[in-house]
Each structure stands twice: as C-alpha cells, then as structure tokens.
Structure 1
C-alpha cells in the first residue's frame, strides 16, 4: 500500500468534484416513472428505462425536485396533462447532476415538459382505440337499443361522492314526478384501483343483469387530474362488451376518456346523466300521450263513421223487413203445402202397410200359441214324472237330517236324528252306526 488511505468522506468529495467539473451542464432525459412520491413539499422520483418490447429495465436512477421548483412545476404539469405524476408515465425532464458526500448521487429536476407526457398518453390512448376497433367492439355499445322505460338504474360510483348524491337527488326528485329505482355498486373512482374496482362492479351488475335497464358510471366533482384510470384497455373492453347501455359522467366537457368513447352515451356530469335518463322517459311519456290522443281521435272518427252507417242501415230496415217478410211468408206457405201433401202420402202408405200386417198376423199368432201350448204340455208331463210323491208311491223313501236330504252316510254322526219319508207318512230314527257301501 502506497500512501495513506482515504476516508469515505474524502473519496466521496473527490467524486463530487469530478462530477461537478465534468457534468456541469443540464440535460433533457426521457424516462419512465417507476415511483413518484411527495414528501414535505419535495418530489422524489425513481426513473427507469425498459428494453423495447419488454418490461425489463436496462437503466435506473433516482431524481429529486426540490420544493421551490416543484411548487411551480406540479400545477403546470397537472393542468396540461390532466393528471398528477404517477408510476407508469413517460416524462421528459431537464436535470442536473448532483452528488452529496452523505446522500450519494441523484439527478436534480429543474423542469418538466408536460407536452411530452401528453403526447405519450395520446399515443397510448390511440393504441387502445386502434386495438378496440381491430377487435370489432369499439361501437358495440352504440348498437344497443336504449330501453323506452329505463327506470331501474345500476350506478357505479364512490359511495360518499357528492356527484352520486346529486345524481340520485336529480333522478328521484324530478319535476315530472317520474319514478326511478337506483342501486349503487361502490367502486374506486380515482387512482390505480379504478380499473379493477369498476370491472368488479360491472361483473356484479352482470350477475343480476335482468334487474336493470341502464348502467351509469359517474365520478363526483373535483379536478379532472385522475382520469387516466379510465383510459385502460381492459376497462374499455368490459364496457364495450357489456349487454346493457352504459352512460358515463366522469369528467368535464373538455375531457374525454376511452371509456367515454366506447360507452353508449357520454355526458358531462352526474346530474347530466340523470337528466338524460329523465328526458328519455319523459319523451316516452309524451309519445304515449300523443298515441293516446291519436287513438281517441281515431276511435271518435270511427264511431262517427259507424253511427252514420248505422243510421243509413236503420233507415233501410223497414223496407228491407217488408220485402223479407213477404218472401218468407210465401216460402212458409209453399213449405206448409208441401209438408201437408207429403204427410198425407206418408200416412196412406203406412195405413196400407198396417192393413197388410194385420191380415198376416192372426195365423202367425195362432201358430205360435199352438206351439207354445204343446211345449207347456210336454213340460207338465216331465215335471209330473219328477214329482217326489211318484217316487214314494213306487216304494222309494227319502231320508233327511235337519231338513236336508241325506245322500252320503258319511255326513251323518252317531246320535243324529233323521227323518224318513215314505208314501203314507214319515218316521224318525236315531243313528247308531254308519256304513258306506263300497262299489263292487
């Protein structure tokens, strides 16, 4: 080791001297902000440069804008670009080199060109619009039919926003006395959470889409500095493909986001969104009134016409009735004569038929009676031959027990009293023994 070693402070002092002597000018630098934060009036930035078509950083640096400069640069930037510095913005900065023995190296921001950032924002917006058109969804919302009776409204807004209150007050207290129903789907309406929050609200509305006629996205009051959250591809695609008409009221007249472009209708303010819905329903009401008046007028005209026709028909009725009456009376006379003649002929034919039947009926009846008389005689002889008394007279007997004829001795029990009937009377016996004769 040659010579005495340097302290860290001495080494840093040498670096500071070299930087101040060699980098003593200012430089315009293009970079992307990976972080931007304000502390006690100072703005601290982290700058990066990414590889083309990649998100990989190829360079990083810290930058600072001191309070005395930041107080003038900030309002100018926000007025031109319509938004504050935030991560993801492309910026063009005028910087000078600074090295401090205790805090290290940093670029000190002396100026910011907001037109550069505005141009980059415009390029991004045009790229989103180009992609939406290439997908064929840019005009989808415009092709929807706005419901005539749009009374059930889904509202996407910050719950405590003054604009939401103004919208509801305008809608529910309209001077026409029209009825509306509103349902709030709360969402973040500024900052980095705009896109996921509004998409989530749209998804919740989609789950019960049958309940609503129209969706309103409103951003209540204040500056227009945080409209960048409404210039994203994902949010624009969700709105463009939504099946219900969407009205946006998220900025002032001169501010138009990509979301405004793809929505069914863009208005300036939340109250203007309410007025649009009221005007639509009022126009429908007036149309119905005109239709009612037209219907009443047409019915009156038709009634007058029908009354005139009825009067003319009434005047012709007596004459027509007389003609019809004469014709019908003549027809009835002809029919009566024809019926009487026909009945006489029919009666004569039937009388002749009855006479013939009467002549042929007597022999048939006599023959039938003779046949039946012979059959009765045969039945009487047969019945007489089957008379039990005839059998008894021949010497046969009939044995009964309890009034029933005994055909099988096995049905008798010892001790049973049986009755035996013969030709001249009957007698009783007591069974002492039964015996069944086997066939030989």
Structure 2
C-alpha cells in the first residue's frame, strides 16, 4: 500500500471539509485571545464548562482585512468596547483548512447585539452583587468637605484630559487655590483594573492629605470602557473612605464605576468645574452667613440702643423712687440701731452696778486681810532687826562687808570691822594662831 504525503493527506482533508462544511455557521464562543496584525484580526476561541470553567473546546478564527475593517467599527460602536479576551461573541463563520496552516474558522460577520446582551448580563450581575454586599450606595453617603481643595488625581500622566483638568483648576474665575497630586494609572486596556486599584491603595495610605479623589480618563476611545466595569474595581471604589468623582466617559457611556461613585461627570474639565462650583457655593454660603451675621448684629445693637434709651429715661424716676425707699430703710435702721444701742447701754450699766455691788465688800475685806498680814510681817522683821540684836550686847564682825562666822577664814593682815550697838571698831589680824587683833581705830556711831 502506497503511503500519502502530509500535503496529500491535508489536501484530502481540505476536500472533505470543503465538501461537507460547505455553508456558513453561527457559533457562540468566548474570546480567549484577540490581536490585529496588518489589518487582519486573529482570534482564539474557547468554550468553558459552566460549572468548572474548564475549557471543553478550542479553535482558531481569522477575520481578513477586507471584512474586519467593515465589522470592527460597527462592533465597537454598538458594544462600546474593542474585541478583547473574556468577551462572548456570536460569529458567522465558514470552515477553512489550509494544507500548510491547518484548520481555522473564517469570520464573515459578528453579531454585536449578542455581545451587548452578554455584557449587559455581566454588568447586571456585578450591580446585583454590589447591592447584596451593601456597598452600591456607600460613596453617595459620604460628604464632600466644604473646602475641598486638596485633590488626589488618578489619570494617565500624558492624557490631554489631565492637562485640561489642571488648567481648569489653576485658572478658575474665582482665584481659588487648589492643590492636586497625580497618581498615574493605565486608563485603557486589560491593565486598567489592577493599575487603578494600585493607585487607590497609594492614595489610601495618604488619605489624611486629601479631601477627594478625581478619576479622569479623557481622550480615550469609547471602546476602551470595559476596564471600568469589573467587580474588583467597583468594590474598591465603593468602599473608599474619600469621595470619588469620575470623569471617564462620554454622556451616553455610563460605567459601573460611574454608578457607584460619589459624583459622575462627563469630562475631566467637568470634574474641575464641579470642584470649583462646590468651593464657590461654600464661599457664597460663607458670604451669606457673614451678611446675616452683620444684619443680626446691627439689629441687636439697635435693639440694645433703644433699650438703653428707655432705661435712660426711666433712671431718674427709678433713682428718686429708690432714693425714697432707701432713705426710709435707712431711717428705720437708724431707729433700730439707736434703740438697740440704748438697750445695750442699759444692760451694760445694770451689769456694772451688779459688779460694783459685789466687788466693793470683797475688796474691803481683802484690803483688811492684807493690812493685817503686813502688820504681822512688820513685827517679824522688827524682831530680827540687827540693831535690836546689837542693843542686847551682841556685836557683828565683818570682812569686806561680809559677816565672819569662822575665824579660820581670816589671815594675817586682814582688816576686820566689829560693829556694836554704839559705834564700830576696825582691827588688823596679827597672828592667825593666837587670833590676836590690833585695833586700828574706833568709829563711834550714834544710834
């Protein structure tokens, strides 16, 4: 038996496929990969098990340049997105087998309404889940500070919309000052979700430095909105502690992020205008409060002025009345004081008389007793008077004015004085042993 070459075999397969799959088919599939090369679109299709999400079928598909240039604009216009991985599509395909490149499906048409339906189902599922988690309305429960001037901005650094936003803030008609800090992020493509979440985490670490977050896209294609319709990004925005203002699409394009944000605006310049108008409203409110305060103070001052005028006219009359009343009170008090003084004086006089009546007899008795005691002391003193003792024949010998009671205290040469009732004698001690005394002179003292 003669063997076939690979080309012959593939050519045989091609003939069989061309003979048996000779018409186009509509096929439902999920895009696992999509890329454009020189105007052609190359897709990898997959079908997943509904329970395990495990691929149960795979195939390649191609849409040639002539067809793709016609299908692409319509698809993106209807769906608002580019063809990307994870998107479910309904393709009109024909079978093609090439001897060198193998089998692939050739895309002849795409039904964008099918994809729209699938996208809508995904969006509704995300919205339902956010509401079940109780976070769908969290952002709208926040309050934007009256003086929201410190802004964190999430945007692409090169985006024209970011420049428009900054210029709008810097050159506002009111001369308000705003400070803004850019946290760069990728705003289109498959990396939108992770990039924006990373920027939000950076802002969260500095949450005390900002009053609000502005997430602006601007300048991108409408077809690049899919990155803002993911559950993870929506949960991060919904739970963020600062008000988030979104300006990521056009008027007719509302992403899930727009639905759950604190405030949705159309464009980056509209986001800047919202902040300026908010601060202007706060300024206007302050001016109104200032005017009300001035008006209130003026009114109150006028009322107080009128009250003072009224009191000024009443003061003389009130003073006269008060003076009369106070004079009567003083007179009454004076009479009461005078009466009390008289009563106190009378009581004091009575007490003095009682004290005098008790004191005089006691004093007389005490004087008599003390007089008798003095007489007794006088008699005692008289009995011990040295002169009387001398008159009895006694004498008193002294040395240096002190009485001598012991002869051994004298020494030779001492001059002693002996006093008698009449006169005195001075003597010099000659010999201590014999106690001989030589009178030196005699003084006669009269009594």
TM tier relative to shorter chain: 0.7 to 0.9
Contact 2:93–2:106 (Cα < 8 Å) also in 1: yes
**Per-residue deviation, residues 353-410 of structure 1 (Å, max 9, x unmatched):** 5676673896899899x9xxx9xxxxxxxxxxxxxxxxx98x9xxxxxxxxxxxxxxx
Report the equivalent of 1:178: 176
How many residue pairs get matched? Answer: 377
* Residue 115 of structure 2 corresponds to residue 91 of structure 1: no
Q: Which residue of 2 aligns with 1:68?
A: 66
The answer to whether the aligner puts 1:142 opposite 2:140 as a matched pair is: yes
- The structural deviation recorded for 1:350 is 4.2
Instruction: State the Cα deviation string for residues 416-440 of structure 1 (Å, max 9, x = none).
Output: xxxxxxxx9xxxxxxxxxxxxxxxx
- 1:200-279 matches, within 5 Å, as 200-279=198-277
**C-alpha offsets along residues 325-346 of structure 1, whole Å, 9 cap, x if unaligned?**
1221222222233223323433
Alignment map for 1:310-349 (pairs within 5 Å): 310-349=308-347
Q: Secondary structure of 2:95's match?
A: strand
TM-score, normalisation: structure 2 = 0.77
Mapped to 1, the partners of 2:163 and 2:305 lie a distance apart of 58
Q: Aligned residue for 2:304? A: 306
Q: Distance in 1 between matches of 2:129 and 2:365?
A: 112
Q: 1:151 aligns with which of 141, 149, 161?
A: 149
User: Cα 1:216–1:357, aligned 2, differ >3 Å: closer, same or farther?
Assistant: farther
Inter-partner Cα distance in structure 1 for 2:240 and 2:320:
74
Could you tell me how far apart the structure 2 residues matched to 1:355 and 1:44 are? 140
Deviations, residues 65-116 of structure 1 (Å, cap 9, x unaligned): 1222222222222122111111111111111111111111111112212221
Secondary structure, aligned partner of 1:215: strand
Q: Do the aligned partners of residues 81 and 362 (structure 1) sit closer, same or farther apart at CA in structure 2, a change above 3 Å counting? A: farther
Q: Which has the larger radius of gyration?
A: 2
Determine which of 177, 193, 196 is the counterpart of 2:194.
196
Residue 116 of structure 1 is matched in structure 2 by: 114
- SS in structure 2 at match of 1:86: coil
Conserved? CA contact 2:193–2:227, under 8 Å: yes
> Aligned with 1:195: secondary structure?
helix
Q: 1:363 to 1:113 in 2, by over 3 A?
A: farther
2:139–2:260: 8 Å Cα contact kept in structure 1? yes
| Cα offset, 1:315, TM superposition | 0.7
SS in structure 2 of the partner of residue 243 of structure 1? coil
How far off is 1:6 after superposition?
A: 1.4
- CA contact 2:62–2:106 (8 Å) conserved in 1: yes
Q: Report the CA distance between 1:260 and its aligned residue.
A: 0.5
Tell me the alpha carbon deviations over residues 135-187 of structure 1, each in whole angstroms, 9 at most, x when there is no partner: 22222222223322222222211222221121122123211112222222222
Shift of 1:256: 0.3
The structural deviation recorded for 1:313 is: 1.2
Q: Is the 8 A contact 2:165 2:269 kept in 1?
A: yes
Q: Which moved more, 1:55-64 or 1:131-140?
A: 131-140
Distance 1:362 1:136, change over 3 A: same
Mapped partners of 1:365, 1:90: distance in 2: 138
Distance (Å, rounded) in 1 between the aligned partners of 2:363 and 2:346: 22
User: Residues 164 and 363 of structure 1: is their aligned pair in 2 closer, same or farther, counting only changes over 3 Å?
Assistant: farther
Alpha-carbon distance in 2 for matches of 1:350, 1:203 = 97
> Are positions 1:57 and 2:61 aligned together?
no
Q: CA deviation at 1:314?
A: 0.6
| 1:11 alignment counterpart | 9
Q: In angstroms, what is the RMSD of aligned CA positions?
A: 3.0
1:129 counterpart residue number: 127
**How far did residue 282 of structure 1 move?**
1.0
Any unmatched runs of 5+ in structure 2? 378-404, 409-431, 433-447
Structure 1 residues without counterparts, runs of 5 or longer: 375-391, 396-423, 425-440
- Counterpart of 1:406 in structure 2 is none
Q: Determine if the alignment matches structure 1 residue 289 to structure 2 residue 287.
A: yes
How big is the shift at 1:242? Answer: 2.0
Q: Does 2:98 correspond to 1:100?
A: yes
Task: Name the SS for the 1:338 alignment partner.
Answer: helix
> Judging changes above 3 Å, is the alpha-carbon distance between structure 1 residues 81 and 365 closer, same or farther for their aligned structure 2 residues?
farther
Counterparts of 1:53 and 1:216, CA distance in 2: 39
> Secondary structure in 1 aligned to 2:240?
coil
| Structure 1 residues 199 and 222, CA gap change in structure 2 (3 angstroms) | closer
